[in-house]
Structure 1
Amino acid sequence: MVLVTGAGGQVGTHLLRALSVKGISTRAWIHSEQNKEAVLASGANEVFIGDLNSRDDAVKATNGIDTIYYICNTANPKEDEIGADLIEIAKERGNITFIYHSVMHSLLSDMPHHKRKQAVEKTLVDSGIPYIIIQPTVFMQMLTPAVMSIKNGGPFVQKFYTSDQTKMSYVDMKDYAEAAAEMIASGAYTYGTYEFCSEGAYSRTDMENILSDLTGRKITSAFISDEDFLKASHNTADSYQGQTLLTMFRHYNANSFCGNSFTLTQILGRKPTTIREYLKNALQG
């Protein structure tokens, strides 16, 4: 049985669905009773409600499982501490494979959340237990506000592109989940680190051209201000989460964030969903 932490989030629910398709039993770890029906509808066989920060809850949640799939909520200031505890518990229990949802280019330690994820990766590799590290790039689903704006006749609202020099690579969350489920089902990927990315690296002009072609009208960009982004994401400028996310966007804008689709293509046995395909489906949905 696979224990999926963060099972109530977007990545977690996509993963539960993909594992269910493979016939793999899952225990969804959520923090609130209100998410119980949603994760059961996504295919979870069992539900554990508890605090991810509690070691006692972690011990209870890991009872009788053979795989831990550690997904932490975005910009959690304790992601490395929680990860270390879960890894220690897995090592103490024995016969547990630990799968970690990290981030592409975790070595970019000037971004706080990358630094914490890098720390979890190191702890995991040093632990000696069987592990898989998955490093996804930016999820295409992060473009949902932009899609909604365009469907309502508005611009390509975004925070990735301050200039046309910036290039971004993306991955569809559905492809991520399908590939992760295949890795668990096959058992052939232990002790490896895998970058999940679709093909291509796209500039602001590339995105505008794709969207203009798909909609039949001229699409231009509108950059989201820090203030509007913080308000929409329910963060404040002085919060750890707010500063971490703003630091991430500044880094991506200044340096780009690009990856390669080879690994994901091999695992899926097909080409990953392209950004054009995703946007076309999203605009029609």
Structure 2
Amino acid sequence: MILVTGANGKTGRAIIKSLLVKGERIRAFVHRTEQIEEMKALGEMEIVAGDMLDQLAVNEAVVGIRAVYHICSAMNPDEVQIGQVIIQAARLAEVEHFVFHSVLHPGIQEMPHHHKKLLVEELLVNSGIPYTIVQPGVLMQNILESWKLLSEKGIFQQKYFTTPETRIGMVDLEDLAEAAGIILTRPGHVWASYEISGPENLSLSDMKAAMEQHFGHEITVETPQDEMFAAQLTKRGLGDYKVNTIVKMFQHYNEHGSVGNSNVLMWILDRKPNDFSSFILRTLKSNI
């Protein structure tokens, strides 16, 4: 059986779907009991709810587990402590394979959530548990937060790009989930750290061109200023740590970009990863 933590997020759900297709038995760990009913729609699996900082609850969730795919909730100030808890539980349960969902370029200290993931990587490497570290780039699916405005009014609201030089190596979540399924179910992937990126390092003009090609009309780009963006995040209920961390992330992306290389993902999938244009076309068809 495979335990997936952070199971109710979009990444956890995608990975669970990939594993269920392979016929794997899944135990999903979610934060709140009301999320259990939502998860049942994905398919047959065990679902447990609890606090990832509760060592006893996590120890119980890992009982009988062969492999773990650990995802911490985004921008979590307690990510390192949560990593300590789940790694300790996995060690006690003698888990055979621990896969940690990290981030591309975790060594960048200017982005607090990147640095916290690097610290968890260190804990895992030092634990002695057979591990794989997955370091995905920015998900193409992140732009879906602006999809309603994009599809209804032709406006793409974004914060990744403020200069023509900025480039982002995006990856399709479907490719990431397929790769995770392979890593968890086929031999040969332990003791490895994998950078997971798509086949393009995209500029804003690249993304805009792909959108205009498939939407069939001009796309207008809106980039809110940091103060307005932070206020929007606060209005959505995010706390100060998450707001400040997200703003710092986009400031770093704007100054340095976040480029990657798709060779590792291509090797794992044994095919070329999906490009941004195909993602836009697929999303448009699924919304028709």
TM-score between both structures, scaled by the size of structure 2: 0.94
Distance 1:123 1:190 in 2: 16
* Structure 1 SS opposite 2:34: helix
Distance 1:216 1:59 in 2: 53
* Structure 2 SS opposite 1:267: helix
Q: What does residue range 106-255 of structure 1 map to in structure 2 within 5 Å? A: 106-226=106-226, 227-228=228-229, 230-232=231-233, 234-235=236-237, 239-255=240-256
After alignment, is 59-68 or 38-47 more displaced?
38-47
Distance 1:230 1:79 in 2: 24
The 1:136/1:230 distance shift into structure 2, 3 A limit, reads farther
* Structure 2 SS opposite 1:152: helix
The 1:9/1:163 distance shift into structure 2, 3 A limit, reads same
Contact 1:147 1:279 in 2 (8 A): no
Distance 1:153 1:247 in 2: 29
Distance 1:15 1:65 in 2: 16
Q: For residue 151 of structure 1, report the CA deviation from its aligned partner.
A: 0.9
The amino acid across from 2:186 in the alignment is: S
Contact 1:198 1:264 in 2 (8 A): yes
Distance 2:4 2:145 in 1: 27
Deviations 1:70-122 (A, max 9, x none): 10100001111110121122222224321100000111122100110000001
* Structure 1 SS opposite 2:199: coil
Deviations 1:115-162 (A, max 9, x none): 100000011111111001000000111101333222112322111011
Distance 2:5 2:284 in 1: 31
After alignment, is 219-228 or 117-126 more displaced?
219-228
Gaps of 5+ in 1: none
Q: For residue 220 of structure 1, report the CA deviation from its aligned partner.
A: 2.7
Deviations 1:163-218 (A, max 9, x none): 11111111111111111001111022001011111111111111122222222222
Distance 1:271 1:229 in 2: 37
The amino acid across from 1:267 in the alignment is: I
Number of the residue aligned with 1:58: 58
After alignment, is 96-105 or 225-234 more displaced?
225-234
Deviations 1:250-277 (A, max 9, x none): 0001000010111111111211111111
Contact 2:170 2:198 in 1 (8 A): yes
Q: For residue 229 of structure 1, report the CA deviation from its aligned partner.
A: 5.4
Number of the residue aligned with 2:46: 46
- Whether 1:277 aligns to 2:268 is no
Distance 2:145 2:91 in 1: 41
Contact 1:16 1:44 in 2 (8 A): no
Distance 2:13 2:216 in 1: 34
Contact 1:102 1:117 in 2 (8 A): yes
Percent of pairs identical after alignment? 35
TM-score between both structures, scaled by the size of structure 1: 0.95
**Count of equivalent residues:** 284
Gaps of 5+ in 2: none
Contact 2:233 2:243 in 1 (8 A): no
Contact 1:235 1:241 in 2 (8 A): no
